[in-house]
Amino acid sequence: MWNKLLAVLGIGSFFCLQLNACAGNRTEENSRFEPAPQCGEKHLLWKAQKSGAPAVWLLGSIHLADSSFYPFASVIDSAFDASTLVAAELDLNAENTMQETGQLMLEKGRLPNGMNLEDVLPPELYEQVDSLAKAWDVPFEIFKPFRPWMVAVSLSALAIERTGLSGEFGIDMELLARAEDQQKKIVALESPQDQVNVFSNADDSLGVQYLKNTLEEIAVADSFIMQIAKAWKCGDAKQMRTLLESDLSEDVYEEELYTKRNIRMAESIDSLSNLGEKVFVVIGSAHLVGKDDNVLKLLEKRGYALEQW
């Protein structure tokens, strides 16, 4: 369930705002999560070097976090401060990004007129969503006009928000704000259209399976998210990969969610490197440590030497 929030950032935020259910904000001081433990010298930060071009730094992001993820390790701050260009999946600071994402979700995530969720879900699955909404004191009516994939992503966002994590503290949000303050160039590796199309271009039958898997994972969300947070703070790439690969809900969208997006992002990062800029990339951790066709592996095939820091 974590992976889907690394894929489409706007959807969870959209429903969070609709429900007035966002868990945290930048002034929050208390956290359920432990500060960064002393468990190793590495971070989810890689230096990628190709002959004849400046080094590219790549940091795996956690899109929803809290104050316990800060401050960053000094090596992350140093690599970021030395950069001249920051690349992220989306430029979340751009005024039109969330607006465009919201519009696309309403257009592509909504069922055709005259249909509602009950028309596309098996009765048992429909009842499960209804029961979860009641348990969380969320108005079930808000989900009814939308396709199963959108309901799945939204429920995942709410599940993670309920642990106390928030997009306001997201790693990419923090670094993009810093980039803007330092007047660095900012490049979006994808568009809102790219991200929403991952789900909207697929048949509703995949969305039904996705929603079913999501409901199963929500039952263990707290434990899973605590482990994800610890793996990020420890820079434990092996454990992060193990956790992400245990999340089976994305399997139905794997090619669109990871394979194709990883290829596009690796191509874009390589192009940015060839510009001669000092590039710092922040993208979802799943794209760096996930399956064998991750961005790091694809850059390695393009001649980059990789070193984790």
pLDDT score, position 28: 47
pLDDT score, position 33: 60
Q: Does the global pTM surpass 0.75?
A: yes
Distance CA(284)–CA(258), nearest Å, equals 11
> E strand or H helix at 87, and its extent?
strand 85-88
pLDDT score, position 290: 80
Written as one string, the DSSP assignment of 136-175 is: TT--GGGTTTB-HHHHHHHHHHHHHHTTT-BGGG-HHHHH
8 A C-beta contact, residue 103 and residue 202: no
8 A C-beta contact, residue 46 and residue 305: no
Low-confidence ranges of the chain (pLDDT < 70): 1-38, 248-252
Distance CA(20)–CA(118), nearest Å, equals 25
8 A C-beta contact, residue 59 and residue 44: yes
Q: How many CB atoms lie within 10 A of CB 219?
A: 11
pLDDT score, position 231: 93
Distance CA(17)–CA(231), nearest Å, equals 29
CA–CA–CA angle 83, 88, 91 (5° rounding): 110
Q: Token pair 């930060």 is at which residue?
A: 45
Which strands form 305-308's sheet, in the order they lie side by side?
185-188, 85-88, 279-284, 56-61, 45-49, 305-308
CA neighbor of 198 nearest in space, from 287, 114, 143, 258: 258
Q: What 3-state DSSP class applies to 255?
A: helix
8 A C-beta contact, residue 289 and residue 44: yes
